[in-house]
């Protein structure tokens, strides 16, 4: 039984045998980074009518707009979210400082195969024969231990910014949870694991800093392969360089343009389960480019470790049977670590009539 998040990581260690590439000195794309079949994937040049919803959280219609965006996109951008712009710049600068360190220094804070926190390549790399043009740094809880290895003397500036960001993100994630639950007609009484004040006490979160260095051959490289997040929701800050794409049914891959001060919110797999599939988790990926260093900071938000996530009873009736089994976050992460993009269908109880073929199957295959 995987009772804690760390158990799921320990049970499925990710052994990544490849050496971390020093991106700053790479003049050509090594063969091990060349994704030969990239051209096969559907792509869209974003027709103007198909752009991701941007929702002002102070808009009196925000609840309705969020509900619509979650249903039809599984992702949206928010403005007037209350996170100070200065803090967004600070966290971006902190990430930039970290990834600009020499590779040997960064490796001192490497994530261990069984661990969650630290520097390394994306965990999903294990599912692909080719490597991704990116590096990451994951922080769960205090950043102190790893930050000290990177900057033995002056780690406190990094830690202060990260801790402030984690605190602000936690509040925003709770607020967004209530917007999303509210748009499904749910109230505080319906969510057993929320406090009377609407706090999700014991909720677990991780911060994922992503770096996508400029790439000598971007058309053949992949920054981060297509995946859904195993979260309730993810709040993403991207710097001013585009690269994030989301898959929209019937339209293909659509670029999410960076919008200064706005944050991207993804519906994750656990919200997908909670909403009995009404709000689908969004398949997304990150592309790279030739000249700009792209950075993103993802706040991965999930439930307390003891919560069994299952379709909410208020959304179930004889016409809408529960489609998913109850799972804790760590159980779900265990399934994801083993089966990657098939995890959601593996916790499914029954197939939908007229269900579309699992689009992720074809996207994951890179051979
Ligand atoms: O860098 C991005 O835009 C996407 C990052 C992401 O999907 C993740 O960290 O899960
Ligand atoms: Fe993601």
ipTM, two decimals: 0.99
For residue 94, how far is its CA from the centre of ligand 1 (angstroms)? 17
| Nearest residue (CA) to ligand 1, atom 3 | 244
pLDDT the model gives residue 357: 46
Average pLDDT over residues 23-50: 73
| pLDDT higher than 50, residue 193 | yes
Average pLDDT over residues 308-315: 97
pLDDT the model gives residue 241: 98
Average pLDDT over residues 160-185: 98
Ligand whose nearest atom lies closest to the CA of 264:
1
pLDDT the model gives residue 15: 58
Average pLDDT over residues 41-49: 51
For residue 117, how far is its CA from the centre of ligand 2 (angstroms)? 16
Which residues line ion ligand 2, judged by CB < 5 Å? 229
Supply the pTM of this predicted model.
0.92
pLDDT the model gives residue 362: 39
Alpha-carbon distance values, 211 to 79, 97, 100, 294 (Å): 24, 11, 10, 6
pLDDT the model gives residue 183: 98
Q: 165, 89 in Cβ contact below 8 A?
A: no
Instruction: Work out the number of other CB atoms within 10 angstroms of the CB of residue 37.
Output: 11
| pLDDT higher than 80, residue 39 | no
pLDDT tier for residue 115 given thresholds of 50, 70 and 90: confident
Q: Per the residue annotation, which of 10, 175, 294, 348 is the catalytic one?
A: 294
Average pLDDT over residues 316-332: 96
Report the C-alpha gap between 172 and 163 in whole angstroms. Answer: 14
Q: Pairing relation of β-strands 204-212 and 135-139?
A: antiparallel
Among this protein's residues, is 294 annotated catalytic? Answer: yes
Question: Chain-wide mean pLDDT for the chain?
Answer: 90
Q: Pairing relation of β-strands 75-79 and 54-56?
A: parallel
Q: Which of the listed residues 296, 297, 333 should we mutate to test ligand 1's pocket, taking the one with most ligand atoms within 8 A of CB? A: 296
Q: Is the CB of 238 under 6 A from ligand 1?
A: yes
Q: What is the pLDDT of residues 119-137, one digit of tens each?
A: 999 989 989 999 999 999 9
Q: Which of the listed residues 137, 236, 247, 269 should we mutate to test ligand 1's pocket, taking the one with most ligand atoms within 8 A of CB? A: 236
pLDDT the model gives residue 360: 44
**Quick one: what percent of the chain has pLDDT higher than 90?**
80
Average pLDDT over residues 342-364: 64
pLDDT tier for residue 7 given thresholds of 50, 70 and 90: confident
By 3-state DSSP, what share of the chain in percent is helix, strand and coil, each rounded to 5? 35, 20, 45
Average pLDDT over residues 142-162: 97
Report the C-alpha gap between 101 and 95 in whole angstroms. Answer: 10
User: What element of type H or E holds 221?
Assistant: none
Q: Pairing relation of β-strands 294-302 and 204-212?
A: antiparallel
Q: Which residues of 123-135 are buried (b: 16+ CB within 10 A; e: fewer)?
A: bbbebbebbbbbb
| pLDDT higher than 50, residue 367 | no
| pLDDT higher than 80, residue 62 | yes
Instruction: Work out the number of other CB atoms within 10 angstroms of the CB of residue 71.
Output: 15
| pLDDT higher than 80, residue 42 | no
Q: What is the pLDDT of residues 231-242, one digit of tens each?
A: 999 999 999 999
For residue 36, how far is its CA from the centre of ligand 2 (angstroms)? 22
Q: 287, 245 in Cβ contact below 8 A?
A: yes
């Amino acid at each position: 039984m995987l009772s804690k998040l760390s158990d799921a990581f320990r049970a499925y260690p990710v052994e990544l045998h490849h050496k971390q590439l020093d991106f700053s000195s790479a003049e050509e794309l090594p063969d091990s980074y060349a994704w030969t079949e990239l051209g096969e994937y559907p792509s869209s040049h974003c027709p103007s009518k198909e752009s991701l919803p941007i929702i002002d959280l102070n808009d009196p219609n925000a609840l309705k707009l969020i509900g619509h965006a979650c249903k039809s996109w599984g992702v949206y951008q928010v403005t007037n979210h209350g996170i100070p712009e200065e803090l967004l710049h600070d966290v971006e600068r902190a990430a930039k400082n970290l990834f600009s360190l020499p590779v040997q220094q960064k490796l001192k804070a490497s994530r261990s195969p069984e661990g969650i926190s630290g520097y390394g390549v994306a965990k999903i790399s294990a599912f692909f024969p080719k490597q991704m043009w990116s590096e990451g740094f994951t922080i769960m809880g205090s950043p102190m231990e790893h930050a000290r290895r990177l900057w033995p003397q002056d780690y406190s500036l990094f830690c202060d910014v990260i801790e402030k960001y984690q605190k602000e993100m936690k509040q925003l994630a709770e607020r967004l949870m209530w917007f999303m639950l509210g748009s499904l007609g749910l109230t505080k009484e319906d969510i057993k694991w929320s406090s009377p004040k609407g706090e999700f006490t014991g909720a677990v979160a991780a911060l994922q800093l992503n770096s996508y260095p400029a790439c000598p051959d971007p058309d053949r490289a992949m920054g981060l392969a297509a995946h859904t997040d195993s979260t309730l929701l993810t709040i993403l800050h991207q710097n001013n360089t585009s690269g994030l794409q989301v898959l929209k049914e019937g339209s293909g891959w659509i670029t999410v343009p960076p919008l200064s001060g706005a944050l991207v919110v993804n519906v994750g797999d656990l919200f997908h389960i909670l909403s009995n599939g009404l709000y689908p988790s969004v398949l997304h990926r990150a592309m790279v480019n030739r000249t700009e260093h792209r950075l993103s900071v993802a706040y991965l938000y999930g439930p307390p470790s003891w919560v069994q996530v299952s379709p909410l009873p208020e959304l179930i009736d004889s016409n809408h049977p529960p489609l998913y089994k109850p799972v804790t976050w760590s159980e779900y992460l265990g399934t994801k670590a083993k089966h990657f993009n098939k995890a959601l269908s593996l916790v499914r109880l029954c197939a939908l009539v007229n269900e579309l073929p699992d689009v992720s199957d074809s996207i994951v295959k890179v051979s």
